[in-house]
Chains A and B, each alone.
Chain A
Amino acid sequence: MASAINRRQFIKACAVLTLGFTTPISFAQGHRDPRMVVLILRGGMDGLAAVPAYGDPAYRSGRGKLALGTPDTVDGVIDLDGFFGLNPVFENLAQMYAGREALLFQAIAPPYAKRSHFYAQDVLETGLTNPAGSASGWLYRALQGLSEGRDPEKYGYSLGAGIPRIVQGALPVGAWAPDRLPDPDEDTLQRLMALYEQDSYLGPKVRAGFNADEMINAMGGKLRGGNNLTTVAKAAARFLTRDDGPRVAVMDSGGWDTHAWQGTTKGRLANRFRELDTVLAGLKQDMGSVWDQTAVVIITEFGRTVAVNGTSGTDHGVGGAAFLLGGAVNGGRVHSDWPGLAKEKLYEGRDLKPTLDMRALFAGVLHQHMGLDRGFIEEQVFPGYRDQVSGLIRAG
């Protein structure tokens, strides 16, 4: 027993040593300069409303009045592969799918099945099955490897008010959020910065804050707009398309917890889908030629109950859907080891059973798209977790 532990420790020590001497980026950076965007939909986006398994024999009975029609009906789903469909509100996403730029996942979940928003988000964002107190975010840890040779704070950006846990760690990441406050005058700012030099925690953050603002204003003037996904996605494109800008951006969106009257192709949830769809089309457009080197990961903490609840909504569930989009993505298909919607196939008789650990998607994107070394991912980003979904990224 003792020798086994020693051996493991030895291997670990070797891995750390190796990391010290070589870059964890595993391919030459010559022609590729990949970008990654992570968008977290908070509240539990209803995966079965976004990507309905209309071909499952139990779909219509299980979903009841929230079931969408078949592709040949008015307001019916957009067919994806004869089994899965897309909520017809997603007009732009459907185009990306047709252009093989969208890869959709069904029955996916973070490694957690107890239906608490906050715990599920913690698992989703730390990438750990036990996200104790101050554990850092998995994207934060990945940034430490990805930014090799560059300041992590300049390599990864959190966009929008608040820093999501996925990029929280001991050191700050870059951050930007829209505001409508007046810019301070130079003299006052200088006096103030002298005071911030004395605060070792806040000082570096303040400097980074003013740097980010300069960067974004240099591209097409001050970006105005409310603190919403539309403005934040515009900012993402501005930052990511700069030669000296960050390569990873994270943003989030709330309001997906549809316990009551969620609707199907009209209503509360459809409105959220439409906003998301428009934002994605705008992001593709704003990214311009860089879109070809971009992968956008869209995730949520869990799916929702298959059945409608007592208030025409759905309650917290387990298995859900995720999207991977971008010019770099090997898309045009739905990736799912479909467990089925028949009552006996459901998790605890009520929720879609997850058949894919979301970490396999994250690890795949980090390795295949961003070029992060597998050893680094398995040691540092998702300690002890070794799977990844293959074939996520287009060859060449």
Chain B
Amino acid sequence: MTIFSQYRAMNRFGLGAGPLDLNAATADPKGWLLQQLEIQQDPGPQVPDAATSLSAFYEWRNERKRLMSSEESERRAQELTSLQRGLAAQEQSNFFKRFEYAAHTRTPFRERLVQFYSNHFSVSRKGKRMISLACVAYENEAIRAHLDSSFADMLLAVMSHPVMLFYLDNNNSVGPGSPAGKRSKRGLNENLAREIMELHTLSVNGGYTQQDVQALAKMITGWGFGGYNNRNPAVKQGEFFFYKQNHEPGPQVLLGRQYDFQGLEQGRAALIDLALDPSTARFLATKLASHFIADTPPPEAISILERSFLDSRGHLPTLHRTLVNLEAAWDPAHKKFKTPNEYLLSAVRVFDLPFNGRIRKLIRSGLVNLNQRPFFAGSPAGWPDDTRYWSSSSALKKRIEWGLATGASANTGLHKIEQAVAMLPTDAGDLQLAMKRAESPAQAAGLMLASPEFQWR
């Protein structure tokens, strides 16, 4: 039986206790977490990079156009169907690689942080099919690659990434006073600028106005990428490019500060200032505390994180070390309800389930039925991170059905059940007893996955 701090390190900070963590985590739970914050060989799931993925999508779209304009026939219908399936299969393959990487990682705390920031800078393929092949690459390139750096670096990487620029429409935003704006009727799109301030940095009460939104929107006009109709040899398809002719000229005033820089530097300077703003520190501290402690975290914990952010100028590893050392994060009185994705990951980890066809099918149906398909959040705010949102009656019923079905078809075998029972904390006596009294290993595994204990972290 594990002691509480080991259980919490593996579940709260990690992605769910399992045989992969057990030896490392039990010796020194806190040390195990801190050591994951040292720079790691952490390439992420092996998927094609974003530029390649976007180009692949364009090719797919060309092929589809070609078929659509050809004569209607049964053969054409078949080809269209298989084209459609091909795209879906490629998407799925990327998502499974991502899931499998997280399910098998030896640095699960690090992976949880990647997923936390990936949700903070959420992109969704819902209604935005063009980015569907590139979402996992976006997470690798904009989030994972900057986990050992500063929040400002991550923010800059995100906002100059084609996937985000497309997702929040900035690639089409044109400064009204720019050469391109004067020539054509295209104009400003303030979507990305607004969400940067509201969701990514200052937060909704962070003290900005509609004028600030427009100023930031103007400062990042021209931030785009080589798109579908790209004919400029200097621009690489699917890669960031600063379109000078779309950029609004002249100085801008944001939050009372004037930005005289020219071109790309203007937006960069504004983003760096936003990343370091006290409102941003407060907002990120609150989100981290809510994710790692409780839906309503103790105010002292938020203040400590905020201080750490400000003192280190948003140095992420420093902030994350502060997080591990927060007393409140280890307080048994606090719990967090697992999101569906966390729940599924922890289920695979606890029995170290083989990644075969049957398990893949279960994972896919679990994410669909529990309403957390990868990169499919309904809004740019990403997935909610609170108990009330995820624990409705119908959602719980579905978790139970999924847990029992997965337990039944997982072929776990007796020793894995015993191992899992041993990983439960001392206060989970009822569940341990129920598992020992189960009529089969399959029922025992199902009971564990469907149990109330297993829904919390």
Residues of chain A having any CB pair with chain B under 8 Å? 42-43, 114-119, 133-134, 158, 161-163, 168, 172, 174-177, 179-185, 187-189, 191-192, 194-196, 198-199, 201-203, 205-206, 208-210, 212-213, 227, 254-255, 257, 259-260, 309-311, 313, 315-316, 348
Contacts and interface: CB of A to CB of B under 8 A. Distances in A.
Contacts of A185: 404
A310 B189 contact: yes
Contacts of A315: 189-191
A312 to B, nearest CB: 9
Nearest to B205: A119
A116 B198 CA distance: 8
Interface of B: 126-127, 169, 172-174, 181, 186-191, 194, 198-199, 204, 210, 296, 365, 368-371, 378-379, 381, 384, 387-398, 400-402, 404-405, 430-431, 434, 438-439, 443, 446-447, 450-453, 455
Contact of B443 (A43, A188, A199, A259): A188
Contact of B172 (A168, A227, A311): A311
Nearest to B209: A114
A169 to B, nearest CB: 9
Contact of A205 (B173, B393, B431, B443): B393
Given A116-B204, A187-B439, A259-B189, A310 B173 contact: yes
B398 A311 contact: no
A302 to B, nearest CB: 13
B395 A174 contact: no
A182 B450 CA distance: 14
Contacts of A176: 393-394
Contact of B446 (A174, A188, A196): A188
B260 to A, nearest CB: 25
A310 B174 contact: yes
Given A310-B172, A315-B190, A254 B126 contact: yes
B127 A210 contact: no
A163 B434 contact: no
Contacts of A316: 194
A195 B430 contact: yes
A191 B392 contact: no
Contacts of B173: 310-311
Given A175-B392, A196-B452, A311-B169, A206 B381 contact: no
Nearest to A121: B379
29 contacts: A115-B194, A116-B194, A118-B198, A119-B204, A161-B395, A162-B389, A162-B395, A174-B393, A176-B394, A177-B395, A179-B394, A180-B365, A181-B402, A182-B401, A184-B401, A188-B446, A189-B400, A192-B447, A194-B434, A195-B452, A227-B369, A259-B169, A259-B189, A260-B169, A309-B187, A310-B172, A310-B181, A311-B172, A311-B189
